[in-house]
Amino acid sequence: MSMEEAVPLLTTKSEEENNHGVAVPLESAFFLQLKRLGSLAAPLVAVTVSQYLLQVVSLMMVGHLGILVSFSGVAIASSFAEVTGFSVLLGMAGALETLCGQTYGAEEYRKFGNYTCCAIVTLILVCLPISLLWIFMHKILLLFGQDPEICRAAREYCICLIPALYGYAVLQSLIRYFQTQSMIFPMVFSSIAVLFLHVPICWGLVFKSGLGHVGAAFAIAISYWLNVIGLGIYMKYSSSCEKTKIVFSSNALSSIKEFLHFAFPSGLMFCFEWWSFELLTLLSGLLPNPQLETSALSVCLNMTTLHYFIPYAVGASASTRVSNEIGAGNPKAAQGVVRVVVIIGIVEAVIVSTFFYCCRNILGYVYTNDKEVVDYVTDMVPLLCVTVNADSIIGALSGIARGGGFQHIGAYVNLGAYYLAGAPLAFILGFVLQLRAKGLWMGSLTGSILQILILAVVTALTDWQKEATKARERLTEKSVKPHNVLV
């Protein structure tokens, strides 16, 4: 399909193109995109929550061992692993939302499989230095004054978690493989099935095998690889994956440079935002009465994390739809997706923040019975509600950025918003003006609002016709030769 065919010059402002370049009324296009986004976003929430619960279940099992050193070590190791490993892989895999999404829209199916294969190989290579870091992580913890016994338990857990790191690298690539084709059922079925299997596996390894806390790490690794095997079997034998099947070939390896062009900024964009919230927790430990401040802040952060699964899923669905439309040469349809996803984000934010505010007096009791902590959380709920609104818009705009392929701009925006504005302001409000945890939160929230404003301007000024042309040029600049199969 040529660009001229895809974008009719006489399309009016009250019309948009469908997938075949045919103009349809704007209202019909709105509801069509709403239906498509909803059918993607809702199942993706189930996928992300199921994967998140693997870590939660493992931590709960270790907690029931009744060994405080093991529980503390696993908690610290889990946080360390998320920051230095899993967040990096999750962010870098976002490059496939651009490459595979646009390739699928352009019907360049052979390149689609090549990009996925390239991502698997590249992310596995990225795991190598991360593995070394995990092996020696106890030395880093000791430098920060952590208890030697806790450091030992954390190191044991992290070393046993290394197989999970490689499984996660493959899994995130496969998730993008299915997501960008809007093939949601395999991911939902596999994620939920593995979660149900994870509970008895983790219980057996932690309590019955004598492995204790390291058994929880092995359970996570087994569950990630079971997920990979399940999705791999579906891809191999399903006729719906026939055109885009992954084949390890020289063509795939030649795409590593192109993949890294999007993967590095995508990873930085994601990690800059994620790490800023970890920084909040660290700073709260330096406040007067750190037990109270850290407890209240942790409760609020946990609630925002649970909520963020929704905007993340909305953003992932937006990324898929935007990249598909750009790849297909339908810039007006991509603009339509942008409008719809922003509206979805606003509506979702209003609903959730209203719920939180109405329940502000009892939210703290979900996590603790300590009246002082509950009262502190109640006092912070208005800020929490503003954060929920911000996160919903950020999820949508970040998904649009990944789908459009301008993650490099998002990386600069997040660096400036969170570390040049948000973090310094959080320090001033929290420590200099002595607003404590509320001050830290307000500083971080300021960074989020700044991020929204800049990304909104970037999105509004984006020339979607130009982005569609760039995508087409990138996909056609070198034709894909027949597979020279390596494996």
pLDDT in tens, 67-90: 878 888 888 888 899 999 999 999
Whether 80 contacts 137, CB under 8 Å? yes
Burial class (CB in 10 A: 0-12, 13-18, 19+), 466: exposed
Amino acid at 194: V
Whole-number pLDDT of residue 326: 92
- Write the DSSP symbol of residue 249: B
- Asked whether 472 and 14 are in contact (CB, 8 A), the reply is no
Q: pLDDT tier at 294 (50, 70, 90 boundaries)?
A: confident
The H or E element containing residue 16 is strand 15-17
**Lowest-pLDDT choice from 277-291, 314-328, 373-387:** 277-291
Residues 401-454 have pLDDT tens digits of 999 988 999 999 999 999 999 999 999 999 999 898 899 999 999 999 999 999
**What angle separates helix 95-105 from helix 256-284, to the nearest 10 degrees?**
140
Name which residue leads in pLDDT, 146 or 356. 356
**Dihedrals φ, ψ of 485, to 5°?**
-70, 130
The token pair at 173 is 């690539």
Query: Residues 76, 142: contact at Cβ < 8 Å?
Result: no
Cβ atoms within 10 Å, residue 128: 10
Tens-digit pLDDT profile for residues 434-445: 898 899 999 999
| Rounded CA Rg of the chain | 23
Side-chain-side CA neighbours of residue 347 (13 Å): 9
Residue with tokens 């002595």: 434
Residue recorded with tokens 């996160």: 391
* Other beta carbons less than 10 A from residue 414's beta carbon: 30
Q: How far apart are CA 244 and CA 129, in angstroms?
A: 31
* Statement: residue 115 has pLDDT above 60: yes
Look at residues 172, 170, 161, 154 and name the one whose alpha carbon lies nearest to residue 87. Answer: 172
Mean pLDDT (whole number) for 289-303: 83
In 29-165, DSSP assigns E strands to: none
Strand partners, 249: 485
